[in-house]
Structure 1
Amino acid sequence: MIRFGLRLTMAGGREAVGRLVIIATAVALGVGLLLATLAGINAVDEQNKRYAWFNTGFEDTQPQTGAAPLWWQPSQSYFDGGTIVRFDVAATGPTSPVPPGVDRLPAAGEFYVSPALRDLIARTPADQLGDRFAGRQVGVLGDAALPSPESLIAVVGRTAADLEAAGAKQVTRIGVSDPATCARCVAGNPTDAMALILSVVAGALIFPVLIFIGTATRLTAARREQRFAAMRLVGATPRQVSVIAAVESTAAAAIGTAVGFLVFVALRGPLAAVPFTGVPFYPADLTLTATDALLVAIGVPVAAGVAARLALRRVRVSPLGVTRRVTPRPPRAWRLVPLLAGVGELAWFVGRRPDTSTGQIAAFLPGFLLIMVGLVIAGPWLTLVGARLLARRAHRPATIIATRRLADNPQAAFRAVSGLVLALFVTSVAVGVITTIVANRGPQHSGSLTDTTLSMWTEPDDEAAPAVLAVPGVRSATLVRENPDREGGVMPGVVACADLARAPEYGRCADGATAAYVWSDLVGYREKTGAHTVWPAAPYTAAQVAGLPAMAYVVNTDGSTAAIERARTVLMAAYPDRFRTPATQYDIENDFTRTLAGWQQLANVVILASLPIAGCSLAVSVAAGLSERKRPFALLRLTGVRLRTLRRVVALESAVPLLLVAVVAIGAGFGAAALFLRAQLDYALTAPGAGYYATVVAGLAASLAIIASTLPWLRRVTGPDTARND
């Protein structure tokens, strides 16, 4: 029977080959996206492993016996928005541990750099970057030390005396613990959060593909059922018919699965460049385990075979099952329950957000998936409601016929647009969340005071002021002192009014005051202050302020990269061995900004992938519906119904559920985004920009165009020959 099923699959004419190609294409898309998601999860793990050595001295490990201690001092600095990670080292003996990516420890006056940092130093003036690394470059770090191709890392050799004086620690082993399981580790990716994001992405991509597969499988379903029923009448057993049906779908799924692996290979390079952890991956990180490959290679064809058996269950019951078609029972309002349950599940966690990442995954992911399932379940009932409302105002024949058909079988009508409805939901969630996070935590407006202000959170003195003021582009350098009364709830810093007068862009003192309470960086978070600010008076004389401990240098520049980086290099040279180096607010927030950009790219991937897939599903569904109803439509034409009227019927049958449920999907998307933001981040939803609405309008317009593109086919399939009984 398997060979017979293959013959039917391959020798059924253009119709069979077309169906095979469509199903195989749908499966290939689904498999390629599924493999890409699995590989993305594996890539996060691989990247995390190369972060392990960053956590040297922080992880809970036993000292390595027989190893000479290694002086170890990590620090970070910035350059033009990029983060530079630096490790100063000094060996105490020949057995001191060696970091990955190098064959020996650098001696004092030597350093290794990553390829990206080497290239950056080569194309940048030395007084902006290279002067931060005194000595001679002796090599380049290997890939084993680099979490990403764009990592900016330096391993600098120092003397043991220098590092001991700087407060460095001694270690006897280089960190090897996976940051995902290391409680004290300070570097690495939050894998649980990444798993949540990738799981939502996988669901967002796979749901439209699954609907596409189901739609393609139903293509010419009526004719296939008649063929299988004829086999039953001539003596075929239900088991034999099930095997033949499964062979057709399984063969197409097997071909699609094989092509899907090729799709994944083609996607590896572009996917590796998506920095959804903040930095891109190496393409080699996007790998599949043997278990992943086997589960997909075997599971997808098996699932397709099971789906085929379920789809043709009427034929197995009786050879006359395909003739016993009656109007299905109308959907009931209970179909709203899963949708409302998903909304309620997200609402429950407002004010009850779990503390752990694992708990947050368990809290939010089921809610999103339940809403997606709920939209599919509730769609037929919403379609029925829309059809009944439209029927009350129906006067034209096309509208009456369309509303009657929608009311008779709203499940079939909604099935055609379900993929697009889910795509609109996912798009609304992604845009709503990203827009709100950008509004609350996104990058500052270019040229703002926080972008031009370089703050050094350390213990400086006045000696660096002349040097930094000599840098071209530096406008002022203000020393902020520690406030001895900060426990009383006032601002943490104190500045002399005479010093503040030389930097009027940060505000001024109250009239008659000699000192003022200020923020440590004079600008506050997200530029809450500026030239208009009048700082509260502090009860100190200028002499008393001069005697307070120094807290920070606040350097204002013209905002150019050259001025900021030259000033940063001067301050780093004046105050070496500080873990926190001079930084602008943009530098501090840029790690999150890069991660946010990665999430935005993921959202774009979801939108750009799900909308076309949903459009293909819509086109196949409308075409399949025309094919299955061509004889009734042909009979209507013979009775005098105009072709224009039939085209209106087809357009209304697809457009009504599309537009109606699209409104519900968009509302559900924004509602789910608002609940998630309130529960997870305590943010209120920010309305998206014009780009979102343009995307939605373009998507709906494209969908209506797809429906319209199938209408000319109606003339060809409703001719007089079609009305004859075969």
Structure 2
Amino acid sequence: MIGFGLRLTVAGGREAIARLVLIATAVALGTVLLLSIVAAVNAVDRQNERGAWLLTSGQRTTDDPLQWLVREDFYDGRTIARVDVAAVGPDAPVPPGVDRLPGPGEYYASPALRELLADTPREQLGARYPGRDVGTIGDAALRDPEALVILVGSAPDQMPASAPRIARFNTEVPALQTAAMRLILGVVGAGLLFPVLIFVATATRLSAARREQRFAAMRLVGATPRQVSTIATVESAVAAALGTALGFVAFVGVRRPLAEVSFTGAPFHAEDVVVHWPGMLLVALGIPLAAAVAARITLRRVRTSPLGIARRATPRPPRAYRLIPLVAGIVELAWFVGRRPESTNGQTAAYLTGMLLIMVGLVIAGPWLTMLGSRVLAARSSRPATLIAARRLADDPKAAFRAVSGLILALFVASTAIGVITTIVANQGSDRAGAAASMMVMSFDDREPKVLMPTAVDGAVERSGLRSVDGVQAVTLVRSDPYQPRTGGSRYGPYSGLVLCSDLARTPERGSCAPGAEVASVWPSILSGQVDEDEESSGGAKQFDAAGRRIWPTARISTEELLAKVHVGWILVDTDGAPATLEHARTLLETTFPGYPVPPGTDNDYNASFNDSLVIWQRLAQIVIVGSLPIAGCSLAVSVVGGLMERKRPFSLLRLSGVPLRTLRRVVTLESAVPLLTVAAVAIGTGFLAAHLFLRAQLDYSLRAPGMAYYVFVLVGIATSLGVLASTLPLLRRITGPETARHE
């Protein structure tokens, strides 16, 4: 039977060869995608391992031989990892990527940072790192090829007191960091794999009716159910094995371009995008096995009733119980509103399970929803084409929904992802313009005794030449009592900040002083220029001038006492927002006040990590959308063509009886358009509901309406699907000629 099955696979004429090629192509596409997802997960793990050394923690009071300090620095929206090291013992550990520790006045830089230093004026970046460049940091210490990392050598007495000591560098990745990205990639993988699996299943069922009739004829002449199942399994396994082999070959070609895809906000090292042997064996054996199992399931009606197949018995209509998984997924997400799990693993299990339940539920409930749409269509039918299409949909809603199921899942995933991202950006995203991008802030910590004390900041600012930099509009010093809580009172007044009125006069948009005042009491919201809710409830500045600007209360302290006794908490530098101005000002601040753990930056700089995460989520959503739409379109085209080939004799008889060709085309269009529009509306609504429930449970946000780009995407997706459908209609003329109506 195996040999006979192999013969039927390749010796069944052009139809058999076309079916073999199409199934192999579908399986190859699924194999490439599955291998890519596995390789991406491995690359993320390796990426985290390369950056694990930067997460090393130590103690301040031990005798470990290396003192080090990791700080963030910024340049034009990019984050620079600055690592200061000083050997305090003979056995000081050496970081990965270099062969020795840099000495005082030396530094190593990553390739991307060395290129940036060479292309940038020194006063904007290079002056922050005085000393001699002694080499390049190797890939072993860089999370990605574009990482900006600098390893600066120092003497022990030059290191801040807060710098810890270590005996070795960390090599383990925090479980939270790995689990979070694996969760995101898992959702992306599911969003991509579902349309591919549907495409493979659709291609496998191509000419299913003809195959079922052939196998039913074998049953009627004496073939046993086991023999028929063996033949069908061989047919599917051969095509799947061929497609799997082609998929492995294709993966070799896409492996390097895959490394350039920024799944985590940065490209991978090419050598990290690999699939290990266990994963290869799982894919190589699992896909053909799954295809064989699918073939056996497909032919269960042949094994049960060959006469029913010969007579084309109408399958049972779908029941309402198909809605159970969909409802269960929604209920599961709703349950966790107000009951968010505390652990990351608990949140992963809760939300991912709910999303997968909904995705599976949409596929299972699709035929029932299609049948519902067919009944509505039949109730409103007034033309023969509408009535025929409604009757056909009601006869086999599973086949009708199968054609559009890939696009439905793409719409659900896109609606959920865009709904979540839009809401998070609306609630947490920083304004990329205005004060968030043009005002630089440097915060001081008076617990650092080895750096310049904040009481001497005034003179240091004057000597730095900060106020004379082109594009710097004002420099404001905000003083803060280090023993005063920010929301409590003190002998200077009920506010946490003190500003000279002469400084405040240079920035009228931040408010002004009362007439005759020398020192104003201000709230920390002066940093953002926005009135804080705590400020209003605590009696903040409620007086406004004619231009609507705040008038800050007068502080009960003189200018002399302020300059002599009160530490500077912040330096506010108002600029024109030009990158050159911002970086020049940042460099002057860092070189004038070295050693502080928090670098000077704008609000956008400090939110860079969060903004990058938003970009990652948006990019992953785009990957799902761009990847799933073409697959869904191919699935729709294959399904429609397969349906036409299986029904070419009935269509030919209709044409011979006088039915116009345009009526048949209208029937085919309605058969695909009705389930597409019906279930698409359910998928979009379910996607928004799932996004809302997730946001309420995880962040206590309410869903915000997405922007116009989302609606354009939906319209383009549906229009593309209808275009694919229209492209198959010319086939009707060729396959419904008089010669097709004859008995075989």
TM-score normalised by the shorter chain: which range applies? over 0.9
Per the alignment, residue 251 of structure 1 pairs with: 238
SS in 1 for 2:403: helix
Worse-matched range after superposition: 262-271 or 195-204: 262-271
How far apart, CA to CA, are the structure 1 residues paired with 2:406 and 2:109?
49
Per the alignment, residue 372 of structure 1 pairs with: 359
Are the aligned partners of 2:64 and 2:165 in contact in 1 as well (CA < 8 Å)? no
Unaligned runs of 5+ residues in structure 2 are 446-453, 536-543
Match of 1:294 among 281, 292, 295: 281
Are the aligned partners of 1:6 and 1:248 in contact in 2 as well (CA < 8 Å)? yes
Are the aligned partners of 1:31 and 1:261 in contact in 2 as well (CA < 8 Å)? yes
Are the aligned partners of 2:127 and 2:587 in contact in 1 as well (CA < 8 Å)? yes
SS in 2 for 1:423: helix
Deviation at 1:526, TM superposition (A): 11
Match of 2:511 among 488, 507, 511: 507
How far apart, CA to CA, are the structure 2 residues paired with 1:102 and 1:90?
15
Worse-matched range after superposition: 260-269 or 627-636: 260-269
Worse-matched range after superposition: 316-325 or 625-634: 316-325
Match of 1:180 among 160, 164, 175: 175
How far apart, CA to CA, are the structure 2 residues paired with 1:264 and 1:516?
64
Matched, 1:592 2:610: yes
Per the alignment, residue 474 of structure 1 pairs with: 472
How far apart, CA to CA, are the structure 2 residues paired with 1:386 and 1:5?
40
Deviation at 1:238, TM superposition (A): 2.1
Matched, 1:558 2:576: yes
Per the alignment, residue 12 of structure 2 pairs with: 12
SS in 1 for 2:404: helix
How far apart, CA to CA, are the structure 2 residues paired with 1:166 and 1:569?
22
Are the aligned partners of 1:48 and 1:180 in contact in 2 as well (CA < 8 Å)? no
Per the alignment, residue 150 of structure 2 pairs with: 154
Per the alignment, residue 43 of structure 2 pairs with: 43
Deviation at 1:152, TM superposition (A): 1.0
Are the aligned partners of 2:430 and 2:436 in contact in 1 as well (CA < 8 Å)? no
Are the aligned partners of 1:59 and 1:175 in contact in 2 as well (CA < 8 Å)? no
Write the letter of the residue equivalent to 1:610.
S
Match of 1:674 among 692, 700, 711: 692
Deviation at 1:142, TM superposition (A): 0.7
How far apart, CA to CA, are the structure 1 residues paired with 2:254 and 2:514?
61
How far apart, CA to CA, are the structure 1 residues paired with 2:324 and 2:230?
37
Deviation at 1:463, TM superposition (A): 2.3
CA deviation string 1:313-359 (max 9, x = no partner)? 22223543422533233223232222222111111112222222211
How far apart, CA to CA, are the structure 1 residues paired with 2:197 and 2:250?
17
Are the aligned partners of 2:50 and 2:142 in contact in 1 as well (CA < 8 Å)? yes
Unaligned runs of 5+ residues in structure 1 are 182-189
How far apart, CA to CA, are the structure 1 residues paired with 2:531 and 2:324?
43
Per the alignment, residue 450 of structure 2 pairs with: none
Match of 1:269 among 232, 256, 272: 256
How far apart, CA to CA, are the structure 2 residues paired with 1:160 and 1:625?
78
Per the alignment, residue 166 of structure 2 pairs with: 171
Match of 1:239 among 226, 236, 251: 226
Q: Quick one: structure 1 residues 669 and 491, their matched pair in 2 at CA, closer, same or farther if it must change by over 3 Å?
A: farther
Matching of residues 417-496 of structure 1 within 5 Å: 417-446=404-433, 448-459=434-445, 460=454, 461-466=457-462, 467=464, 468-483=466-481, 484=484, 486-488=486-488, 492-496=496-500
How far apart, CA to CA, are the structure 2 residues paired with 1:267 and 1:554?
49
Write the letter of the residue equivalent to 2:507.
A
Per the alignment, residue 265 of structure 2 pairs with: 278
How far apart, CA to CA, are the structure 2 residues paired with 1:127 and 1:200?
45
CA deviation string 1:108-134 (max 9, x = no partner)? 111111111111100111111111111
Q: Quick one: structure 1 residues 625 and 493, their matched pair in 2 at CA, closer, same or farther if it must change by over 3 Å?
A: same
Write the letter of the residue equivalent to 1:481.
R
How far apart, CA to CA, are the structure 1 residues paired with 2:268 and 2:470?
38
Match of 1:108 among 90, 101, 104: 104
How far apart, CA to CA, are the structure 1 residues paired with 2:628 and 2:720?
13
Are the aligned partners of 1:166 and 1:577 in contact in 2 as well (CA < 8 Å)? no
Write the letter of the residue equivalent to 1:172.
A
CA deviation string 1:222-261 (max 9, x = no partner)? 1112222233334333222211111111111111112222
SS in 1 for 2:527: coil
Write the letter of the residue equivalent to 2:631.
I
Match of 1:522 among 512, 527, 547: 527
Per the alignment, residue 360 of structure 1 pairs with: 347
Matched, 1:627 2:645: yes
CA deviation string 1:40-92 (max 9, x = no partner)? 211121111112211223499x99xxx97112122221111111111111223
SS in 1 for 2:611: helix
Deviation at 1:491, TM superposition (A): 5.4
Per the alignment, residue 135 of structure 2 pairs with: 139
Are the aligned partners of 2:648 and 2:740 in contact in 1 as well (CA < 8 Å)? yes
SS in 2 for 1:479: strand
Q: Quick one: structure 1 residues 139 and 633, their matched pair in 2 at CA, closer, same or farther if it must change by over 3 Å?
A: same
CA deviation string 1:162-185 (max 9, x = no partner)? 22x64422222222232227xxxx
Are the aligned partners of 2:413 and 2:687 in contact in 1 as well (CA < 8 Å)? yes
Q: Quick one: structure 1 residues 331 and 58, their matched pair in 2 at CA, closer, same or farther if it must change by over 3 Å?
A: farther
Per the alignment, residue 604 of structure 1 pairs with: 622
Worse-matched range after superposition: 498-507 or 392-401: 498-507
Write the letter of the residue equivalent to 2:553.
A
Write the letter of the residue equivalent to 2:267.
P
CA deviation string 1:421-470 (max 9, x = no partner)? 11111121122122222222334233x11211111111432123222112
Are the aligned partners of 1:481 and 1:548 in contact in 2 as well (CA < 8 Å)? yes
Per the alignment, residue 121 of structure 2 pairs with: 125
How far apart, CA to CA, are the structure 2 residues paired with 1:633 and 1:527?
71
Match of 1:227 among 205, 214, 236: 214
Deviation at 1:602, TM superposition (A): 1.4
Matching of residues 382-393 of structure 1 within 5 Å: 382-393=369-380
Write the letter of the residue equivalent to 1:497.
C
How far apart, CA to CA, are the structure 2 residues paired with 1:660 and 1:511?
68
Matched, 1:411 2:411: no
Q: Quick one: structure 1 residues 502 and 343, their matched pair in 2 at CA, closer, same or farther if it must change by over 3 Å?
A: same
How far apart, CA to CA, are the structure 1 residues paired with 2:399 and 2:294?
17
Write the letter of the residue equivalent to 1:176.
T
Per the alignment, residue 680 of structure 2 pairs with: 662
Deviation at 1:511, TM superposition (A): 5.3
Deviation at 1:493, TM superposition (A): 2.5
Write the letter of the residue equivalent to 2:172.
S
How far apart, CA to CA, are the structure 1 residues paired with 2:121 and 2:658?
83
Deviation at 1:217, TM superposition (A): 1.0
Matched, 1:540 2:535: no
Are the aligned partners of 1:516 and 1:535 in contact in 2 as well (CA < 8 Å)? no
Worse-matched range after superposition: 526-535 or 711-720: 526-535
Deviation at 1:99, TM superposition (A): 0.8
Q: Quick one: structure 1 residues 341 and 510, their matched pair in 2 at CA, closer, same or farther if it must change by over 3 Å?
A: farther
SS in 2 for 1:495: strand
**RMSD of Structure 2 on Structure 1 (CA):** 2.4
How far apart, CA to CA, are the structure 2 residues paired with 1:620 and 1:512?
82
How far apart, CA to CA, are the structure 1 residues paired with 2:655 and 2:173?
70
How far apart, CA to CA, are the structure 2 residues paired with 1:608 and 1:552?
46
How far apart, CA to CA, are the structure 1 residues paired with 2:411 and 2:318?
23
SS in 2 for 1:281: coil
Number of residue pairs aligned between Structure 1 and Structure 2: 712
How far apart, CA to CA, are the structure 2 residues paired with 1:72 and 1:278?
27
Are the aligned partners of 2:509 and 2:549 in contact in 1 as well (CA < 8 Å)? no
How far apart, CA to CA, are the structure 2 residues paired with 1:340 and 1:319?
37
Per the alignment, residue 538 of structure 2 pairs with: none
Write the letter of the residue equivalent to 1:219.
L
Matched, 1:82 2:78: yes
Matching of residues 212-223 of structure 1 within 5 Å: 212-223=199-210
SS in 2 for 1:320: helix
Worse-matched range after superposition: 171-180 or 395-404: 171-180
Deviation at 1:146, TM superposition (A): 0.7
